[in-house]
Amino acid sequence: MDKFFEYDAVEWNGDKTGVKIIDQTLLPKEEKFLILRTPEQVYEAIYKLRVRGAPAIGVAAAFGLYVSLLPVEGEMDHFTAEFRRIKQYLFSSRPTAVNLGYALERMESCFKKNIALGLEGIKKALLAEAEAIKNEDVQMCRAIAENGLTLMRPGVRIITHCNAGHLAVSRYGTALGPIHLAQQRGLNPRVWVDETRPLLQGARLTAYEMVKNGVDATLICDNMAASVMARGEVDMVFVGCDRVAANGDTANKIGTMSLAVLAKHFGVPFYVLGPSSTIDRNCATGADIVIEERGASEVTDFDIKVFNPAFDVTPAELITGIVTEKGIFRPPFGFGIEK
Active site residues: 242
Task: Give the span between the Cα atoms of 235 and 219, in whole angstroms.
Answer: 16
Distances (CA, A) of 93 to 111, 166, 236, 334: 21, 21, 33, 29
Report which DSSP code applies to 202.
I
CA-angle at 79, arms to 74 and 84, nearest 5°: 165
Task: Give the span between the Cα atoms of 295 and 306, in whole angstroms.
Answer: 8
Closest CA to 90 of 81, 75, 101, 98: 101
The answer to whether residues 62 and 103 touch, using CB atoms and an 8 Å cutoff, is yes
> In what helix (H) or strand (E) does residue 36 lie, and over which residues does it extend?
strand 33-36
Distance from the Cα of residue 278 to its chain's centroid: 9
Whether the upstream peptide bond of residue 55 has omega within 30° of 0, thus cis, is no
The answer to whether residues 319 and 251 touch, using CB atoms and an 8 Å cutoff, is no
Q: How far apart are the first and last CA of the chain?
A: 29
Longest dimension (CA), the chain: 67
The burial class, CB within 10 Å (0-12 / 13-18 / 19+), for 281 is exposed
The answer to whether residues 133 and 166 touch, using CB atoms and an 8 Å cutoff, is no
The answer to whether residues 256 and 162 touch, using CB atoms and an 8 Å cutoff, is yes
Task: Give the span between the Cα atoms of 249 and 242, in whole angstroms.
Answer: 11
Q: Which amino acid is at 217?
A: A
